[in-house]
Structure 1
Amino acid sequence: MIRPIVMYPDPGLGEMCTPVLDVAEVADLIADMFETMYAAPGRGLAAPQVGVLKRVFVMDAGWKTGDKTPVVMINPEILSRSTELQVNEEGCLSIPDTPRRVARPARVEVMWLDETGMQRRGAFDGFEAACICHENDHLDGILILDHEAAA
């Protein structure tokens, strides 16, 4: 089911999300988030963007270029961030038509639960790292507008 996307300046977008305690409780939410993200069309979507203040996001960094690799991150924790930065023009489904240049780590290491409840750990670089940081920011109530615009 495609859910309505919460739009800025909705105050829920600035809220800190709570951890997911039972992965089964967010199964329908995850399916809806993927359907909503692909229809939008976006490359990532966090639960607060559909009005659910839980620590879960979905992403598929490469689907628009034919490399469909959907990822679900529940209760993600960024363990490390490279000191090397990348600057990308980021869009946000909750702030349409307002791209912003944001500096993000070029590489991140993350620990999370997948949709089956299995703990995962992985390193991501490039656009995937930026996408993870962007979506994880949503879980902490941070928007691209909260970042100083990068040159």
Structure 2
Amino acid sequence: MQRPIMTSRSFLRMPSEQAGPGDEAVAQDLVDTLEANRSRCVGMAANMIGVNKRIIAFVDEDLGGRITVMYNPVITATDGAYDTQEGCLSLDGERRTLRHRRIEVDFEDRRFRARHATFTGFTAEIIQHEVDHCNGIII
């Protein structure tokens, strides 16, 4: 189900709680909401739809534009820092931020199996933005 976009900065600044079995409906709502906003958005965190859980969804260009879901993502390594400008559905305009060209992420997949993966380029940038959301950091 598509949900409205959260714009409350005080809510978005709260660190998200761990996700677990039972949060699959939230993940599906996140995917549905991202799909509905795909023309202007490439990633979302659950707090952007008003749910304070560590779940992100993003368009993975390395997988042909498929939407990927991660539960409890944690960035474990970074390389290649650069400055960029980013926008966010929850905020007006763009803001300057620091990102990394390559990241490694520990996360759980849709079956809550532990995973580790490396991402580069724009996909890495999207994931960093959404993990920041999970940590209560807004650009």
Fold equivalence (TM over 0.5) = yes
SS in 2 for 1:115: coil
Q: Partners in 1 of 2:5 and 2:61 — Cα distance?
A: 21
Write the letter of the residue equivalent to 1:110. Answer: V
Identity within the alignment, %: 33
Aligned to 2:54: 55
RMSD: 1.7
What amino acid does structure 1 have at the position aligned with 2:86? E
* Residues 48-79 of structure 1, C-alpha deviations (whole Å, 9 max, x = no match): 1111111111111439xx93222111111111
Structure (1/2) with the larger strand percentage: 2
> Match of 1:7?
7
The equivalent residue for 1:88 is 84
Answer yes or no: is the 8 Å Cα contact 1:73–1:115 preserved in 2: yes
Runs of 4+ more than 3 Å apart: none
Partner amino acid, structure 2, of 1:104: R
Aligned partner letter, 2:119? F
The corresponding residue for 1:27 is: 24
Which residue in the other structure is 2:134 paired with? 139
**1:108 aligned counterpart, secondary structure:** strand
Does the residue aligned with 2:91 lie in a helix, a strand or coil? Answer: coil
Q: Deviation of residue 85 (structure 1)?
A: 1.7
Report the residue type matching 1:12 in the other structure.
F
2:34: which partner in 1?
A: 37
Would you say how many aligned residue pairs link Structure 1 and Structure 2?
137
- Structure 1 regions of 5+ residues with no counterpart? 145-151
Aligned to 1:71: 68
Whichever residue aligns with residue 87 of structure 1, its letter is D
TM-score, structure 1 as length reference: 0.84
* Structure 2: gaps of 5 or more residues: none
